[in-house]
Amino acid sequence: MKVSFPLGCGAAIGGFAGKSLYSLSAEYMPHENMAGGVQAVLLFIAVLGTFFYTLKKVQIKTHSIRNPVACLLIGTALGTLSSFLGIGGGPFNMAFIFFFFSMPTKIAAQNSLFIILISQAVALSKTMLSESIPSDISWLFILGMIVCGVLGSEIGTKISRRMSDKGVTRLFEYTMILVMFICVYNAVRFFH
């Protein structure tokens, strides 16, 4: 909790900042789809960097930061990125957590999920309070996404417990490759 709590508090601040930053940048784009394209390109770059970091992480010296202010600042940065990019930020959260806190894969994944939960809850609250949810999105659809997210988390936790750290890392690498393909697809779709 000495690390997770300030990370979560920072993620809350970052969730608000990232959502505000995205809304502001979307206003200045020539058309609405361009913001999604920029988001996809930035996410691709972040995931690519994370992928290479993951492949070489054994050769990279990590840190064991425990200072609450430093944890708060790192959480704010991660929350901002997560909220701005709109996917929660799982891949690069993991790389940051490995690098700054020297956590094993499973513990890093738990902290990453905690950061995502906090930052996205704040971002969603900001969206709901500013009444900027598109009118064509059903509340039933949103509720379904929440339920599926919780169920997926529970299933993932059970699978993770049965896997070694090495197996979880390998699955993480495959997932990043998939996310990069989705980013390329989205960038082409939005910029076309």
Please give the backbone phi and psi of residue 147, each rounded to the nearest 5 degrees, phi first: -60, -45
Secondary structure of residue 140 in the 3-state scheme? helix
pLDDT digits (tens, 9 = 90+) for 135-162: 777 778 878 988 998 898 889 888 888 8
Mean pLDDT across the stretch 175-180? Answer: 91
Residue whose C-alpha is closest to residue 185's, from 40, 22, 84: 40
- Helices (H), ranges, 28-138: 32-56, 68-85, 90-101, 105-129
Query: C-alpha 10: how far from its chain's center?
Result: 14
Q: What is the pLDDT of residue 110?
A: 82
Look-up of token digits 């070694």: 164
**pTM over the 0.85 mark:** no
